[in-house]
Amino acid sequence: MSALSNITYPSHSAPADTVLGVLYTLCIVLGVPANLAALYFFSRQRSRTLRNTSSQSLLREHTLLFNTIYLAIVLNDLLITATVIPVAEGFFSSRDPVLFGVPLFCTVWGFLWNILPFYSVFLVFVMSVTRTVILMRPKARVGRTAVVWVMLGYLGFLGVRVLVALFLEDVKYMYTANDQYCWEDR
């Protein structure tokens, strides 16, 4: 038994939960359309780049590379925004949520929540490294296919890491009202 199990939490404040629920809802209401607009923009940008630049152009290669990275970031952010929906719902239901009450949903949510934030940081890292390489060596060709494989490889690594915990270490995700999330219960 961990030392954290002995901590007692104060009772929850209904007004504070309402404020948090409104803030989370605001993030969802702004985040989903903004990410959908960004998804539309970057997918259109890719087709525009293909139409308007020479197939051998270094600018074209760099533009396609960054569009690919930005699309991955936008899709990841959209998924993160979607995972906040049950958290907001829990704040409005006196921390007795409907969605987190379903064990399978809690497991899927916990799986995603153990991948998406880490992947978000990694994608920013990939963008920073590729930009640095291109700024330091403007004539360098950074292979988009290689970058995509690195991004997919890390996503696969994160997925396998969580799946190993789920199946081999017998990790279960359980909802706790104190945390307002589904956390690992070993």
Please say whether the dihedral angle defined by the alpha carbons of residues 110, 111, 113 and 118, taken in this order, is positive or negative: positive
pLDDT of residue 29: 96
Tokens matching residue 142: 């950074």
Please say whether the dihedral angle defined by the alpha carbons of residues 49, 53, 57 and 59, taken in this order, is positive or negative.
negative
Label residue 108 exposed, middle or buried (CB < 10 Å: 0-12, 13-18, 19+).
Answer: middle
- State the Cα–Cα distance between residues 182 and 81, nearest whole angstrom: 16
Cα 110 from chain centre:
12
Q: How far apart are alpha carbons 83 and 98 in whole angstroms?
A: 14
Query: What pTM, to 2 d.p., does this model score?
Result: 0.82
- Residue 5 is predicted with a pLDDT of 45
User: Quick one: CA dihedral 39, 66, 146, 81, positive or negative?
Assistant: negative
Per-residue pLDDT for the chain (186 aa), expressed as one digit of tens each? 444 444 444 567 888 889 999 999 999 999 999 999 999 998 887 666 666 656 567 777 888 899 999 999 999 999 999 999 998 888 888 888 788 888 899 889 999 999 999 999 999 999 999 999 999 988 888 888 999 999 999 999 999 999 998 888 878 888 877 777 787 776
